[in-house]
Amino acid sequence: MNKLNVALILVALTLIIVVFYAFDKEKMPLKYALVWLFPSVMILFFALIPNSLFKVADLVGFQTVSNLMTGILFVMMFFVCISLTIIVSSQTRKITQLIQEISILKSKINEDYEE
């Protein structure tokens, strides 16, 4: 096991612990926690198998493992960003509905009040 694997294991474990902590303290629901857990477990998986990173880099055609790491992190961030966009969009829709319903209700109450 070389330094890179150790570093990656530390990074992955930190991520997993932080996400679990947030989930446990109910700061993050499970479905959002999974968005982070999935890539973290992937990193851990590669880090735990010695030389797997070199093999994968070779297989996919990356010149160095550091390039592979950059690539993986990029894809991971991409994945997280897209899921965040989806979450924000669905929340926008819900907020719009809330504003509409509250405004309709409010106008109803005002009508009654004025009569």
Partner 1 sequence: MEKKIILIIPAFNEESNILHTYQSIEEYNRKHGTNYDVIVINDGSVDKTRKILVRNNIPHISLIRNLGIGGAVQTGYKYALDHKYDIAVQFDGDGQHDISGVQKITAPILSGEADFCIGSRFIQNINDNFRTTASRRMGIRIISSFIRFVTGVKVYDTTSGFRAVNRKVMKEFSCKYPIEYPEPITTTEMLKKGYRVKEVPVLMHERQGGTSSIASWKNIYYMVNVLLTILIMKLRRYEG
Which of the residues 64 through 93 are near partner 1 (CB under 8 A)? 92
DSSP secondary structure, 33-61, as one string: HHHHHHHHHHHHHHHHSTTHHHHHHHHHT
Question: Which of 18, 104 has the CB closer to partner 1?
Answer: 104
- Return the residue of 7, 85, 106, 109 that touches partner 1, per CB under 8 A: 106
Of 10-18, 42-50, 74-82, 95-103: span binding partner 1 (CB under 8 A): 95-103
Structure tokens at 1: 């096991």
- Return the residue of 96, 109, 112, 113 that touches partner 1, per CB under 8 A: 96
Helix 52-60 vs helix 3-24: angle between axes, to the nearest 10 degrees?
100
DSSP 27: S
Binding site for partner 1 (CB under 8 A): 92, 96, 99-100, 102-104, 106-107
